[in-house]
Amino acid sequence: MKKIFLSAMLAFLATSGFAQSDTLNIGYCNGKVASTALYKQDGKAWNNAAIFLSKDALSAYKGNRIAGIRAGVVNVLNTDTLVVWVRKTKDGDNLAEAKAIRKAGTKNVVKGWNKFVFDKPFTLDDVEDGLYVGYSFRQKATSEIISIVQPSRIGTSFIKQGTGNWKDVSDEGVLSIEALVTGDDQPEYDLGISSAKITPKPAMSATAMSLTLSVHNYGTKNVDGYTLTMKTGNGNTVSSHIDTELASLADTTISVTFDPNVYTDDKTSWTVELSGIDNATDCNAGNNTTVPFYTYIKNVVLEEFTTEKCSNCPTAATNIHTLLQEEGYANNVFVVAHHVGYYTDEFTLGNKDSKGKYEEEKLLWFYNNSGNTYAPAAMVDRMPYFTTTTNQPTPVFNPGNYSILKAAVASERELSTNAIVNLTLDKDDASNRLGVNVSGVCNELYSAEHPYVMVYLIENDVEAISQAGVSGKYFQQHLTRAYNAIWGEPIEWTDKFFTYNCSFDIDPAWNKDNMEVVAFVYNYDADEIKNCKIENAARQLLNATSGISTSTIQNTASTIVARYTLNGTRVNNDYHGITIEKYSNGKVVKVMR
């Protein structure tokens, strides 16, 4: 195959259609390239990445040409070949391609943006099924190549590494890939909706919602303003004018909170429409309307690493206590304390292995720094928001600084989620046996390669034995007394629903009035710390009434804010059958009506 080097490409660039008409970079990343990669591939392998340009995204450019591709990469170490391409399907034939070989002493392919043009541009005649635009990058040894940046765009970004299958990574962000479109018939004004989701806002009212909308300017001209309209099938309409300028090919994220005074259920589903570009006419109405995805309220899991030998841990514990006193945090931030990190103590869980390590010490894997652990430490939803001293990703950070602690938790609290978790308890006081029933409902956006459920039995106000760094009495909070398995157990989602059961023996010495159960669903990837995020969680006190009854619901100081069928469809108060009900205090229960 003919080798195309950068010099040849630049020569073609000077004589091609790029010099004769406007060139638009069509993609979702807004020209951004990440500094670090979320995904790593070991050994010799090919890495593949592609964005999907839908019919709506391409229809305005029909008759124009894709003359080349910009590929943004995090790293080029240990790599030798890059092929950019256009395909009908992810594994289909290359409809257009360009190839570059990295050689010593040259910069054919570089870290950051790489622009390549095709020998023969691809004409955008048939765009009914959309197109995949991407690259294939060969590595000679372990490397981290693929750039993913925010904001996310559902259904747009896919990767395939080594011999694995294609994976939708749209939930993590968008790939740094852009199609270079050139031609004489490009749209001046064309706004389109990239993605939309609705999240309930129970703190405002039982029917309030927050709409998060991603808007892209596909045209060659800047847009000064436009109108956003939300409509329901039963005639409710809410409109808002957006007067912020949006540059050509730029994206913007709009958040609007509104209360239509009706439930968003199967009878009142919403559509979102863009209209009324200021002083202009939108040339492509096909991408102006969408039906938003409905997402759920997120509960946050804060995991603490602490021991009685740690003299700085009481300060971190005070910070966590202070955070939980802030308005709203106690209801949807659930804390689990692991007594590992700075040695171990009398509360560390699990049997010892042949090396004298407690089972609970396996969680120190999250530090990602070859055994250099510490306490106090914490994780927020096991998300890799931090880096180690060797610049490796990790979810672990020091909660001794209150502002860092609050910022990490607050950012997670602002997110919505694609699954809800339900938790009920079956107590047998006579045998000190506790049954735990976990179930969940997810929406169309939820995805996890290795879905697991983690269940912790927690006790609060446990008097310390010999806590360092304090004088007088000290009480351990959120102490893990038991778990279903060190990494949890795998679950299977069927028709957007799962159920799971486990049980614990309660030591008579433990105070049941101070105990609770925390359960969460997450993706457990034993090979990748960065891929273990917690989707959502639930909490139940042992001394709360178990089971569901009308009197239980009436006696709670909360109201129902949402009701779902088992397949995740939101329904109204008149629905009869099994439903999942969400309360304003964060509790989720399953009810038969």
Q: What is the pLDDT of residues 433-478, one digit of tens each?
A: 999 999 998 887 888 999 999 999 999 999 999 999 999 899 999 9
Task: Note if the pTM is more than 0.75.
Answer: no
Strand partners, 226: 242
Is there a contact between 43 and 141 (Cβ–Cβ < 8 Å)?
Answer: yes
548 confidence band (pLDDT: 50, 70, 90) = very low
Predicted pLDDT of residue 458: 98
How sure is the predictor about 567, in pLDDT bands with cuts at 50, 70 and 90? very low
Residue 104 has pLDDT above 80, yes or no: no
Say which residue, 366 or 446, is predicted with more confidence.
Answer: 366
- Predicted pLDDT of residue 365: 96
In which band, very low, low, confident or very high, does the pLDDT at 206 lie, cut at 50, 70 and 90?
Answer: low
Cα distance between residue 377 and residue 400, in whole Å: 8
pLDDT confidence bin for 292, thresholds 50/70/90: confident
pLDDT for 405-443, tens place per residue?
Answer: 999 999 898 888 889 898 999 988 888 999 999 999 888
Residue 571: pLDDT band (50, 70, 90) is low
pLDDT range class, residue 508, cuts 50, 70, 90: very high
Gap between the Cα atoms of 145 and 381, Å rounded: 25
DSSP 327-391: TTHHHHEEEEEESEESEE-TT--S-B-TTS-BGGGGGGGGG-STT---SSEEEETT---EE-TTS
**DSSP code of residue 146:** B
pLDDT over threshold 90, residue 286: no
Confidence of residue 3 (pLDDT cuts 50, 70, 90): very low
Asked if the model's pLDDT at residue 17 lies above 60, the reply is no
* Residue in 39, 37, 34 with CA at minimum distance from that of residue 525: 39
Residue where the block lists tokens 């804010």: 561
Would you report the helix, strand and coil content of the chain in percent, each value rounded to 5? 10, 40, 45
Average pLDDT, the chain: 84
Is residue 541 a contact partner of residue 478, using CB atoms and an 8 Å limit? no
Question: Do 196 and 253 touch, CB atoms closer than 8 A?
Answer: no
User: Please, are residues 451 and 471 in contact by the beta-carbon 8 Å criterion?
Assistant: no
Task: Report all structural domains of the chain as residue ranges with CATH numbers, in order of start.
Answer: 6-182 (no CATH), 191-294 (2.60.40.10), 300-412 (3.40.30), 417-457+488-522+531-592 (2.60.40.10)
Question: How many Cβ atoms from other residues are within 10 Å of residue 384's Cβ?
Answer: 21
Q: Listing from the earlier edge strand, what are the strands of the sheet with 131-139? A: 96-101, 79-87, 131-139, 45-53, 157-161, 167-168
Out of 7-16, 492-501, 517-526, which region has the weakest mean confidence (pLDDT)?
A: 7-16
Whether the bond into 376 is cis, omega within 30 of 0: yes
Max avg pLDDT among 251-260, 369-378, 454-463, 559-568: 454-463
From edge to edge, which strands make up the β-sheet containing 293-294? 251-258, 209-217, 191-200, 293-294
